[in-house]
Amino acid sequence: MYLEFALIGMLAGYLAGFLGIGGGFVVVPALTYLFLRDSAAAPWAIHMAVATSLCTMLVTSLSSIYAHHRRGAIRWPLVRSMAGGLMAGAVLGAIIADALKGDTLIRVFGSFAVLAGLQLIFGRRPDGERPLPGQPAVSIVGVMIGAISSLIGIGGGALTGPWQLWHGIRAQNAVATSAACGYPIAVAGTVAFVLLGVGGSLPDQALGYVHLPAFAGIALTSALAAPLGAATVHRLPPQMVRRIFGVFLMLVGLRMLAGI
């Protein structure tokens, strides 16, 4: 399956660079399908896919965060104010995922994939500006975003970005800050999934719920492919590709809801 892991990473990295969203919506369904074909991994297919997706973000998001930071686009005060809530939510999401049966978690992911696809196809930038809430409210928002992101194995950009845009933050700053906010989610979620999976009868190549060969293959190739996706933005209409990927996400989500 090493070739498959590499190809998944290339596609996820390319789309992440092109569309500005995390690769979890590609990695999770693809790994779930592959793990279901492996008798040793099949009982924990979706749990391992979600955990491994989060773990890859520890590597793949670094270059993006560094590039945005060099341009001064990340709103670090907002990241710091949300970080505690994001990490607490990520741990909560991992605990919920661990408690859910595989079929249920697959359907949860499928539902979110359909909603994300609809947002990519029909979503429009909100009008007007709304002031950011104070610290208690920001922390609560962070917990909610962290929990959902960890539950389904995405970096949080699909949630943090629209929330910032709704408050009138410039798109460039929203994307950059979302990238930085995804790192606390990846750290806390990965640690939680590793600890929750320790002691179970998981495959030998797994560290908790994290599948190490899949992590290595996806992290390497996605990091290489992300700059290619970013370069393509200047050559093709992003809105057209967003809609194509939105249809793809809806089809993936519906397929998962129907049972892989």
Share of the chain above pLDDT 90, in %: 40
Assess whether pLDDT exceeds 90 at residue 117.
no
Q: What is the band of 175 on the pLDDT scale with cuts at 50, 70, 90? A: confident
Give me the pLDDT at residue 250, please.
Answer: 87
Q: What separation in angstroms does the CA of 228 have from each of 74, 207, 214?
A: 22, 31, 21
Assess whether pLDDT exceeds 60 at residue 126.
no
The arithmetic mean of pLDDT across residues 146-163, rounded, is 84
Give me the pLDDT at residue 143, please.
Answer: 95
Domain that holds residue 31: 2-258
Tens of pLDDT along 43-74? 999 999 999 999 998 888 787 788 778 888 88
Assess whether pLDDT exceeds 60 at residue 129.
no
Q: What is the SS3 assignment for 54-120?
A: HHHHHHHHHHHHHHHHHCCCCCHHHHHHHHHHHHHHHHHHHHHHHHCCHHHHHHHHHHHHHHHHHHH
Assess whether pLDDT exceeds 70 at residue 260.
no
The arithmetic mean of pLDDT across residues 5-32, rounded, is 82
Structure tokens at 227: 């700059």
More confident site: 206 or 60: 206
Asked if residue 150 lies in contact with residue 192, where contact means CB atoms within 8 angstroms, the answer is yes
CA–CA distance, 32 with 106 (Å, rounded to integer) = 9
Give me the pLDDT at residue 223, please.
Answer: 80
pTM assigned to the model:
0.85
Q: Nearest-CA neighbor of 188 among 220, 137, 145, 217?
A: 145
Asked if residue 217 lies in contact with residue 6, where contact means CB atoms within 8 angstroms, the answer is yes
More confident site: 238 or 212: 212
Give me the pLDDT at residue 233, please.
Answer: 55
N-to-C CA span, the chain: 18
Q: Nearest-CA neighbor of 10 among 238, 228, 241?
A: 228
Assess whether pLDDT exceeds 80 at residue 158.
no
Q: What separation in angstroms does the CA of 27 have from each of 30, 176, 219?
A: 5, 21, 11
Between 27-41, 79-93, 146-160, the lowest mean confidence (pLDDT) is in 146-160
Give me the pLDDT at residue 244, please.
Answer: 75
The arithmetic mean of pLDDT across residues 208-219, rounded, is 95
Domain count for the chain: 1
